């Protein structure tokens, strides 16, 4: 399907010029109008309703507010958002809240002052008067990776509960009973879901949850490092460790290596989030994979639909997760089956 950029390239003009022609702007030279309309016809270009609405409002900016832009997860989310929106000639204004609700509110206010056409937000908290105010003002908003508790809004996230359940069930299938967990902060729905998946898997296996093996971090590398050291320094440390996001997993692995604890011989490790580097670690890391790129694509698509029709019912998209079994959990390195789970060769 042709995009506005394709039309601009074929006509040899800028994207704003194509926008002005589409909106019958009176100050476009007749030869440019002719070239643009010829390109539109040749490419069978059909502008989306959202794009037309944006151009009528003379806004091509979409704001994206992320809670931690240093996390590779959000870089892939951002790529998915940009790939969708750029096809409509839209540009991104990106801000990093750095886990700070006050800074997040400042960024949202700043972007609103720039008259963005909509916002994609990975919120720092499930309650935000600033986000609620934007939605109440009918600004198109899509929430990613988490859910809001104080407002009805388009939302995209991966099924963290199912993913964590699969991870812990896999460790149990391998014979582990003392399974430690480094969870995220429970004021975020993503952390709630992943912790609930851990609890359910333990309960279904008839295993009690030891509070001494439970820690709550802040989704950052440093907390994963410090909490893993705490757990592995216990008189009876866990034989397996489930870590609820990629940054904390890196920190936990660093701590375990610093302590000269062998993975998986002395402790099995499973992380949440899968990236290219996971298979390059020593040993390769077993993870729960979620498609961060697809989260971005779906978020941008929902936002486009909301811009095109503000009265659409609010929608929630929940994406599947997948267990990627590698050597860090102690599983065999060749394809085998354990309780119906497929093993990925290293």
Place of tokens 């809001």: 148
Same domain, 185 and 271: yes
Q: How much is the mean pLDDT over the chain?
A: 90
pLDDT band at 50 (very low <50, low <70, confident <90, very high): low
Same domain, 248 and 299: no
The answer to whether residue 21 is domain-embedded is yes
Q: What is the pLDDT of residue 87?
A: 85
The answer to whether residue 116 is domain-embedded is yes
pLDDT-above-90 percentage for the chain: 72
The answer to whether residue 55 is domain-embedded is no
The answer to whether residue 53 is domain-embedded is no
pLDDT band at 340 (very low <50, low <70, confident <90, very high): very low
Same domain, 280 and 313: no
Given a cut of 70, whether residue 56 has pLDDT beyond it is no
Given a cut of 90, whether residue 44 has pLDDT beyond it is no
pLDDT-above-70 percentage for the chain: 91
The answer to whether residue 239 is domain-embedded is yes
Q: What is the pLDDT of residues 238-253, one digit of tens each?
A: 999 999 999 999 999 9
Same domain, 24 and 69: no
Same domain, 140 and 216: no
**What distance in Å separates the CA atoms of residue 333 and residue 198, rounded to the nearest whole number?**
25
Q: What is the pLDDT of residue 28?
A: 77
Same domain, 33 and 140: no
**What distances in angstroms separate CA 13 from CA 4, 9, 80, 237, one per listed residue?**
11, 6, 26, 65
The answer to whether residue 52 is domain-embedded is no
- Select from 204, 333, 200 the least CA-distant residue to 264: 333
* Region of poorest pLDDT, from 52-61, 128-137, 302-311: 52-61
Q: What is the pLDDT of residues 200-219, one digit of tens each?
A: 999 999 999 999 999 999 99
Asked if residue 263 lies in contact with residue 243, where contact means CB atoms within 8 angstroms, the answer is no
Same domain, 38 and 80: no
Same domain, 335 and 201: yes
CATH of the domain at 97: 3.40.50.2300
Task: Please state the rounded mean pLDDT for residues 125-134.
Answer: 96
The answer to whether residue 241 is domain-embedded is yes
Peptide bond into 283 cis (omega under 30): yes
Domain of residue 313 covers: 61-158+292-320
Place of tokens 């790939």: 83
Task: Please state the rounded mean pLDDT for residues 294-323.
Answer: 95
Given a cut of 70, whether residue 124 has pLDDT beyond it is yes
pLDDT band at 53 (very low <50, low <70, confident <90, very high): low
**What sign for the dihedral angle of Cα 251, 216, 341, 338?**
positive
Asked if residue 304 lies in contact with residue 48, where contact means CB atoms within 8 angstroms, the answer is yes
Same domain, 213 and 253: yes
Same domain, 188 and 328: yes
Task: Please state the rounded mean pLDDT for residues 331-346.
Answer: 43
Number of domain units in the chain: 3
Same domain, 24 and 72: no
Given a cut of 90, whether residue 88 has pLDDT beyond it is no
* pLDDT greater at residue 234 or residue 343: 234
Given a cut of 90, whether residue 23 has pLDDT beyond it is no
- Residue 26's φ and ψ, nearest 5 degrees, are -75, -15
- Select from 258, 253, 246 the least CA-distant residue to 283: 253
Q: What is the pLDDT of residue 239?
A: 97
- Select from 26, 30, 27, 50 the least CA-distant residue to 38: 30
Q: What is the pLDDT of residue 19?
A: 75
The answer to whether residue 310 is domain-embedded is yes
Q: Residue 99 corresponds to which tokens in the numbers above?
A: 């886990």
Same domain, 83 and 120: yes
Q: ∠ at Cα 260 (255, 266), nearest 5°?
A: 95
Q: ∠ at Cα 219 (185, 146), nearest 5°?
A: 65
């Amino acid at each position: 399907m042709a995009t506005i950029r394709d039309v601009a390239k074929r006509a040899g003009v800028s994207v704003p010029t194509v926008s002005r022609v589409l909106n019958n702007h009176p100050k476009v030279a007749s030869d440019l109008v002719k070239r643009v309309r010829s390109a539109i016809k040749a490419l069978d270009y059909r502008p989306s309703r959202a794009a037309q609405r944006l151009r009528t409002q003379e806004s091509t900016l979409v704001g994206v507010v992320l809670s931690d832009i240093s996390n590779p997860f959000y870089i892939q989310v951002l790529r998915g958002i940009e790939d969708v929106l750029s096809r409509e000639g839209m540009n991104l204004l990106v801000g990093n809240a750095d886990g700070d609700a006050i800074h997040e509110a400042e960024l949202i206010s700043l972007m609103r002052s720039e008259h963005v056409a909509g916002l994609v937000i990975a919120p720092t908290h499930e309650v935000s008067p600033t986000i609620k105010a934007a939605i109440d003002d009918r600004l198109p908003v899509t929430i990613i990776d988490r859910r809001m508790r104080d407002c009805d809004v388009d939302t995209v996230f991966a099924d963290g509960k199912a993913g964590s359940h699969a991870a812990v069930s896999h460790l149990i299938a391998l014979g582990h009973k003392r399974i430690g967990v480094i969870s995220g902060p429970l004021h975020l729905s993503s952390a709630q879901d992943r912790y609930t998946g851990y609890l359910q898997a333990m309960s279904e296996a008839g295993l009690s949850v030891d509070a001494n093996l439970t820690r709550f971090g802040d989704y950052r590398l440093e907390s994963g490092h410090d909490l893993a050291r705490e757990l592995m320094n216990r008189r009876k440390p866990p034989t397996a460790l489930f870590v609820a996001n990629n940054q904390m997993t890196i920190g936990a692995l660093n701590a375990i290596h610093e302590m000269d604890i062998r993975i998986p011989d002395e402790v099995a490790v499973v992380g949440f989030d899968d990236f290219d580097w996971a298979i390059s670690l020593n040993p390769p890391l077993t993870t729960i994979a979620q498609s961060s790129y697809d989260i971005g694509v779906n978020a941008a698509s929902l936002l486009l639909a909301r811009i095109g029709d503000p009265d659409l019912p609010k929608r929630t998209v929940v994406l599947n997760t997948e267990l990627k079994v590698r050597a860090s959990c102690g599983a065999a390195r060749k394809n085998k089956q354990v309780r119906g789970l497929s093993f990925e060769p290293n």
